[in-house]
Amino acid sequence: MSLKLFDLTGRRALVTGSSQGIGEALAKGLAAAGAEVILNGRDPDKLAKAADGLRKETGRSVHELAFDVTDHAGVRSAIDGFEASVGSIDILINNAGMQHRGALEEFPAEAFERLLQTNIASVFHVGQAVARHMIGRGKGKIVNICSVQTALARPSIAPYTATKGAVANLTKGMATDWAKYGLQCNGLAPGYFETPLNQALVDDPSFTAWLEKRTPAGRWGKVEELVGTAIFLSSEASSFVNGTTIFVDGGITASL
């Protein structure tokens, strides 16, 4: 009985920004737990390659839904079209995001705007489009990918930190507005993981040495270590968990 709480069989999950990195790993994990997965990205060729790989690895049905998460009208059209032609989206993982590093006093305004659109506005656009259908069904799971920077700041990424703090508060707002309709909206906040987004830091011996010393677990995280929490937040096991953010960070936010 207890294991059935985590079974995603018969559910369909959309993961934004899932052609690589954390999004791809989460999509694989949800598929392994029984979900029918919908991959999303802006590059159709890259998306098709990721979907083909996931089909071969899992033997499951995998959908491709190419749209720009920062385009409100485009998002709504894609989501409404999929719901009408294929079926319900039962789980949404808002994972799409970007990083831009630079001294705050010289940070380019256009880069700041891109961060706002990609990291915050996209969560609103996709979350709203999917929730409209979930509300009608009286159930749904939304998991917004936050960050260790939701709680902490580091030099050169102040705007990114601001966006990830906003995602956590938007998650609280989603839960406050939509829990009454049967939705659970929560955040998953990764620490430092080996991903394409972090490759420059992974390849920097001095940063890796700092991170290993700063993190109680003493190492970088592996993207597969995010899967268990994502399954929990996507399943019946979290039926009364709402508006919270779970940090998966090796203890870095727990330690000075």
Q: What is the signed CA dihedral for 10, 30, 239, 76, rounded to 10 degrees?
A: -80
Is 192 catalytic? The answer is no
Alpha helices in 7-71 (DSSP H): 21-32, 44-58
> Both tokens of residue 2?
């207890």
Kindly state the tokens that stand for 228.
């268990």
List C-alpha distances in Å: 198 to 16, 80, 101, 182, 203. Answer: 18, 34, 11, 36, 9
Catalytic: which of 67, 160, 220, 232?
A: 160
Mention every residue, 6+ apart, whose C-beta is less than 8 A from residue 205.
none
Give me the active site residues, please.
160
